[in-house]
Structure 1
Amino acid sequence: MKWVTWILAIALVFLQYDLWLAKGSWRDMWRLENNVSAQNARNETLIQRNKTLTAEIKDLTHGQDAIAEIARVDLGYVQNGETFYRFVHPAK
């Protein structure tokens, strides 16, 4: 009867090895779950960036104010009848 107990104990150890340490085990599942949550976080930041870019594109295609603002800030555009003042901080 003692040898049956040993055989069953060895079988249990082999079955537990597959469950906890082999390919497709709990450890792999936990690692994959961590990878999925990290990828979801990256996806959320990319979704927010895409929404911002979409709003900017929509504003540029339909609104003249955004185009004028970009021209003023980036290109130094001044309309007719406007006076441009530039403030320069003195060097220390």
Structure 2
Amino acid sequence: MKWISLVLITLLCLLQYRLWFGKNSIPDYWQMQQETQQMREQNANLAQRNSLLKADIEDLKIGMDAIEERARNELGMIKEGETFYRILPPEQQP
């Protein structure tokens, strides 16, 4: 009877060791949970960016206002008869 108890206790200790320190252990599970959460957040950010890009594409397909706005902001273009003013920030003195 003493040997059976000793074998069962040893087996329990080995299983506990594997549960906490072995491959696919509880800390591994926690780490995978954390990585999964980070990927979900990253996917949400990318989905939001994709929806903004889709809206931008639709805007470019539909109207000339979006094209004109991009030409002004990105290329610095102005319409005929307009005057362009550039306001520079004051120089910073040390």
Report the TM-score range of the alignment, normalised by the length of the smaller protein. 0.7 to 0.9
Matched, 1:57 2:39: no
Q: 1-side partners of 2:83 and 2:77: how far apart?
A: 9
Q: 2-side partners of 1:21 and 1:74: how far apart?
A: 56
What's the C-alpha RMSD, in Å, of the aligned pairs? 2.1
Q: 1-side partners of 2:54 and 2:14: how far apart?
A: 55
Structure 1 runs of 4+ off > 6 angstroms? none
Count of residues paired in the alignment = 91
Structure 2 unaligned segments of length 5 or more: list them.
Answer: none
Q: 2-side partners of 1:60 and 1:52: how far apart?
A: 12
- TM-score normalised by structure 1 residue count: 0.80
The amino acid that maps onto 1:57 is I
Alpha-carbon offset, residue 22 of structure 1: 1.4
The amino acid that maps onto 1:56 is D
**Distance verdict in 2 for CA 1:8–1:56, change over 3 Å:** same
* Residue number in structure 2 paired with 1:86: 85
- TM-score normalised by structure 2 residue count: 0.79
* Residue number in structure 2 paired with 1:35: 35
Q: 1-side partners of 2:88 and 2:25: how far apart?
A: 65
Identity of aligned residues (%): 37
The amino acid that maps onto 1:83 is E
3-state SS of 2:77 partner: coil
Alpha-carbon offset, residue 67 of structure 1: 0.5
Alignment check: 8 A CA contact 2:78 2:84 kept:
no
